[in-house]
């Protein structure tokens, strides 16, 4: 099965020290929040950037989703702070 | 007319307004966002999510078209490094009557602020940098317009 692509933006990107990575695909019932927790458990910049999920927002295949959404068969997960455009 | 541009280049407000004015409506409303040079700010750096931005702005425009009788909508949003005084964003709406043009313009900029995947980083004269925090009042303003209703 295709790996899962994770992309990061803004201070989340700076905290984890990369803008994109691929991980082994978790089970389809795994939520974005579960994924965030497993990434934060790596420690270091990951723990700092992803440790407080209340500060994070997410998109699955380029659509905003709440963090309790199951990843299912999504190809791409994006993790970032609340947006500040306009 | 539906025009959406996500670009690093500056844009010509007069030309954008002229295109909206040529649609035969009775009114055009617009909003131009400018970089404020407060507190020693020397530049704003705008990051976005290229694979998502265009589609997400299109969703916002479709929602406006479903809510108001509009003849045209233009949205231009810049990314990259922008200095104080630079234009960041343009929203324009043309309609037969002023209410739809004014209301949809306000709606579009409120929704762009809280629903378009952009992030701003401030650069200051002393070399310090800081990511702009989302403001609860921006989210509240977008919510005041109610749930999305035009699609899905």
CATH number at residue A74: 3.10.20.30
Number of structural domains (chain B) is: 1
Question: Which A residues 20-59 touch B at CB under 8 Å?
Answer: 59
The sign one gets for the Cα dihedral A20, A23, A25, A29 is negative
User: Tell me: the pLDDT tens digits for A5-21?
Assistant: 999 999 999 999 999 99
Chosen from A12, A15, A76, A83 to mutate, greatest number of chain B CBs within 10 A: A83
Please state, for a pLDDT cut of 70, what percent of chain A lies above it. Answer: 100
Chosen from B30, B49, B63 to mutate, greatest number of chain A CBs within 10 A: B49
Any domain includes A74: yes
Any domain includes B151: no
Average pLDDT of the residues in A39-60: 97
Q: CA B68 to CA B46: how far, in whole Å?
A: 30
- Residue B151: pLDDT band (50, 70, 90) is very low
Q: What are A23's strand-pairing partners?
A: A4
Token pair of B88 as six digits = 């960041």
Residue B134 and residue A82: Cβ atoms within 8 Å?
yes
To the nearest whole angstrom, how far is the Cα of B23 from the nearest Cα of chain A?
25
- Share the mean pLDDT of chain A: 96
Q: What are B90's strand-pairing partners?
A: B32, B76
- Residue B149: pLDDT band (50, 70, 90) is low
Residue B134 and residue A7: Cβ atoms within 8 Å?
no
Q: CA A21 to CA B39: how far, in whole Å?
A: 36
Per DSSP, the residues of A25-66 read PPPTT-BHHHHHHHHHTT-HHHHHHHS-GGG-EEEETTEEE-
- Residue B146: pLDDT band (50, 70, 90) is confident
Any domain includes A42: yes
CATH number for the domain spanning B55: value is: 3.90.1170.40
For chain A, how many residues are written? 86
User: Tell me: the pLDDT tens digits for B128-140?
Assistant: 999 999 988 888 8
pLDDT at B150: 46
User: Tell me: the pLDDT tens digits for B23-40?
Assistant: 999 999 999 999 999 899
Computed over its alpha carbons, how large is the radius of gyration of chain A? 12
Chosen from B47, B54, B63, B135 to mutate, greatest number of chain A CBs within 10 A: B47
Structural domain range at position A41 = 4-80
Any domain includes A86: no
Q: How far apart are the first and last CA of chain B?
A: 22
Q: Which helix (H) or strand (E) holds B13?
A: helix B13-21
Any domain includes B70: yes
Average pLDDT of the residues in A45-54: 97
CB-CB: which of A9, A82, A86 is closest to B47? A9
In sequence order, the 6+-apart residues with CB closer than 8 A to the CB of B143 are none
Any domain includes B152: no
Q: Name which of B52, B53, B62 is nearest B2 in CA terms.
A: B62
Per DSSP, the residues of B40-98 read TEEEEEEEE-HHHHHHHHHHHHHHHHHHS-EEEEEEEEE-EEE-TT-EEEEEEEEESSH
To the nearest whole angstrom, how far is the Cα of B98 from the nearest Cα of chain A?
23
Structural domain range at position B69 = 2-144
Number of structural domains (chain A) is: 1
Read off the pTM.
Answer: 0.93
Any domain includes B150: no
CB-CB: which of A59, A63, A80 is closest to B119? A80
pLDDT at B8: 98
> In the predicted model, is pLDDT for residue B148 greater than 70?
no
User: Tell me: the pLDDT tens digits for B75-122?
Assistant: 999 999 999 999 999 999 999 999 999 999 999 999 999 999 999 999
């Amino acid at each position: 099965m295709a790996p899962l692509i994770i992309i990061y933006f803004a201070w989340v990107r700076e905290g984890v020290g990369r803008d994109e990575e691929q991980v082994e695909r978790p089970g389809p019932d795994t939520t974005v929040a579960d994924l965030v927790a497993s990434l934060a458990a790596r420690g270091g910049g990951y723990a700092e950037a992803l440790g407080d999920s209340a500060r994070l927002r997410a998109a699955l295949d380029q659509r905003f989703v709440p963090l309790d959404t199951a990843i299912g068969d999504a190809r791409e997960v994006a993790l970032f702070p609340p947006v500040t455009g306009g | 007319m539906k025009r959406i541009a996500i670009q690093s280049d500056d844009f010509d407000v007069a030309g954008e307004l002229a295109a909206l004015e040529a649609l035969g409506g009775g009114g055009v409303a617009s909003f131009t966002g400018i970089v404020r040079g407060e507190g020693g700010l020397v530049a704003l750096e705008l990051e976005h999510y290229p694979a998502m931005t265009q589609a997400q702005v299109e969703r916002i425009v479709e929602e406006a078209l479903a809510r108001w009788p509009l003849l045209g909508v233009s949205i231009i949003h810049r990314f990259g490094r922008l200095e104080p005084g630079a234009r960041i964003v343009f929203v324009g709406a043309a309609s037969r009557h002023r209410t739809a043009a004014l209301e949809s313009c306000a709606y579009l900029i409120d929704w762009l602020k809280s629903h378009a995947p952009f992030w701003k980083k401030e650069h200051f004269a002393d070399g310090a940098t800081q990511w702009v925090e989302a403001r609860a009042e921006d989210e509240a303003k977008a919510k005041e317009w109610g749930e999305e209703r035009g699609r899905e």
